[in-house]
């Protein structure tokens, strides 16, 4: 299962050192890691900081990390230290020299289209105390991700809305506990991994792309969650309304699914079908049944990259009798990813969607 790390390692490594290690494992941009390194050294990348990077990041990752990433990071780190007129420890020089010599003229490492990123959710101290869960300090989720999402492999990339939705789930576990949850466009599966931590009654992840779905199953195996989470191939354009209504989820989730104007009508149709139930023989929806089990709700996290596309979604949703409310400012969110400086939390909006009966 996902690694829930107890007080052992979390007690031994504290912020900002823990942030430095987490940033490296998640493969944050080099500039972000260098910035955190300065925080650890009081404004400079001291020898003690360099030793920490060597002992806990690079040396531990030897043979397991993505070599081109580590090599690029080492180049920039050493350049930063030298530009300050400081001393670079021998281990960093020697490791970079080894990479430069052994990989010279060898582009084989670049051919690997997948990398393993380890996303660490660091529980804030006040949250740990309030929930009386002293043993749970850090949640580490290893994920097979695309090396280059610009080559059409977007479904296997990590997007900001999935990070936001994951933080929302961990911040508000009571919303998902004992609920049947269904995710649209699950991608690498990060949201599903976090859902499994808050004790839902059922978790079903779906995606319309077969290669993405295959990678999703790899990630379930990495986190030992094959038995706890279901996977479903679901192309929105061909999904049958009757099949969708048979699923009857309590909660529908989606991260960055509002992006393509050509998919909007299909997306809205799928959400609408998941949030309602089958029609009775009279053609009327069984509102009594919906009320008896509680109305289903969807939570969609999205970065508004194109306002016209977003407004089009709102218009189509309204026509489908879906009520869309932006609840971003109304939810108490905890910062589980304080080390992830490339993640712009403020760019994400959280939408709550319900079906309205007329």
**Per the domain annotation, does 351 fall within a domain?**
yes
Q: What is the mean pLDDT of the chain?
A: 87
> Quick one: CA dihedral 236, 239, 241, 242, positive or negative?
negative
For 157, phi and psi rounded to 5 degrees?
Answer: -105, 160
Is 79 in the same domain as 178?
A: no
- Higher local confidence (pLDDT), 307 or 292: 307
Q: Report the CATH number at residue 242.
A: 3.40.50.150
Length of the chain: 358
Q: 90-102 and 67-83 helices cross at what angle (nearest 10)?
A: 140
pLDDT of residue 281: 42
**Per the domain annotation, does 1 fall within a domain?**
no
**Per the domain annotation, does 140 fall within a domain?**
no
Is 179 in the same domain as 325?
A: yes
CB-side exposure of 128: number of CA atoms within 13 Å? 16
Band of the pLDDT at 290, cuts 50, 70, 90? very low
Is 106 in the same domain as 213?
A: no
Q: 30-40 and 17-25 helices cross at what angle (nearest 10)?
A: 160
**Per the domain annotation, does 97 fall within a domain?**
yes
Is 68 in the same domain as 154?
A: no
Is 101 in the same domain as 160?
A: no
pLDDT digits (tens, 9 = 90+) for 153-175: 566 789 999 999 999 999 999 99
CA distance 256 to 282: 37
Is 93 in the same domain as 215?
A: no
Q: Calculate mean pLDDT across residues 13-18.
A: 92
- Given 45, 80, 110, which residue is the final one in a domain? 110
CA distance 238 to 218: 25
Is 345 in the same domain as 270?
A: yes
* Max mean pLDDT range (1-15, 41-55, 63-77, 100-114): 41-55
For 207, phi and psi rounded to 5 degrees?
Answer: -160, 150
CA distance 91 to 78: 11
**Per the domain annotation, does 347 fall within a domain?**
yes
Is 267 in the same domain as 170?
A: yes
**Per the domain annotation, does 6 fall within a domain?**
no
For 33, phi and psi rounded to 5 degrees?
Answer: -65, -40
Is 220 in the same domain as 286?
A: yes
Distance from CA of residue 354 to its chain's centroid?
A: 24
- Higher local confidence (pLDDT), 111 or 31: 31
Is 179 in the same domain as 93?
A: no
pLDDT over 70 percentage in the chain = 84
pLDDT digits (tens, 9 = 90+) for 231-259: 999 999 999 999 998 999 999 999 999 99
Structural domain count of the chain: 2
pLDDT of residue 279: 45
**Per the domain annotation, does 45 fall within a domain?**
yes
- Given 51, 86, 110, which residue is the final one in a domain? 110
* Range list of H helices, the chain: 7-12, 17-25, 30-40, 47-52, 59-61, 67-83, 90-102, 125-130, 160-171, 190-195, 210-222, 241-247, 264-275, 287-293, 307-319
pLDDT of residue 95: 95
Is 80 in the same domain as 155?
A: no
**Per the domain annotation, does 300 fall within a domain?**
yes
Is 198 in the same domain as 295?
A: yes
**Does residue 106 register a pLDDT over 80?**
no
What pTM value is reported for the model?
0.89
Residues of the domain holding 337 = 148-355
pLDDT over 90 percentage in the chain = 74
CA distance 74 to 61: 13
Band of the pLDDT at 351, cuts 50, 70, 90? very high
């Amino acid at each position: 299962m996902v690694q829930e790390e107890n007080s052992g390692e979390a007690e031994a490594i504290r912020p900002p050192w823990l942030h430095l290690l987490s940033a490296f494992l998640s493969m944050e941009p080099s500039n972000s890691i260098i910035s955190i390194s300065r925080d650890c050294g009081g404004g400079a990348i001291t020898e003690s900081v360099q030793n920490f990077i060597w002992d806990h990041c690079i040396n531990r990752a030897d043979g397991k990390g993505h070599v081109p990433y580590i090599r690029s990071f080492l180049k920039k780190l050493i350049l930063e230290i030298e530009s300050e007129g400081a001393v670079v420890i021998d281990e960093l020089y020697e490791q970079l020299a080894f990479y430069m010599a052994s990989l010279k003229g060898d582009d084989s490492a670049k051919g690997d289209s997948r990398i393993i990123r380890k996303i660490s959710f660091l529980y804030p101290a006040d949250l740990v105390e309030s929930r009386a869960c002293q043993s749970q300090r850090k949640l580490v989720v290893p994920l097979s991700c695309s090396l280059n999402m610009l080559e059409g492999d977007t479904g296997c990339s990590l997007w900001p809305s999935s990070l936001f939705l994951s933080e929302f789930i961990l911040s508000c576990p009571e919303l998902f506990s004992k609920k049947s949850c269904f995710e649209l466009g699950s991608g690498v599966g990060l949201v599903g991994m976090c859902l499994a931590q808050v004790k839902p009654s059922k978790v079903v992840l779906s995606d319309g792309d077969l290669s993405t779905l295959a990678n999703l199953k790899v990630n379930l195996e990495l986190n030992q969650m094959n038995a706890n989470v279901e996977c479903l191939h679901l192309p929105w354009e061909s999904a049958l309304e009757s099949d969708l209504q048979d699923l009857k989820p309590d909660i529908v989730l989606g991260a960055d699914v509002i992006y393509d104007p050509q998919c909007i009508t299909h997306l809205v149709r799928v959400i609408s079908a998941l949030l309602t139930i089958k029609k009775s023989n009279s053609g009327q929806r069984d509102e009594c049944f919906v009320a008896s089990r509680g109305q289903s709700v969807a939570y969609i996290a999205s970065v508004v990259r194109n306002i016209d596309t977003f407004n089009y979604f709102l218009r189509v949703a309204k026509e489908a009798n879906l009520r869309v409310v932006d609840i971003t400012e109304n939810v108490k969110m905890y910062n589980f990813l304080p080390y992830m400086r490339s993640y712009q939390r403020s760019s994400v909006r959280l939408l709550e969607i319900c079906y309205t009966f007329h």
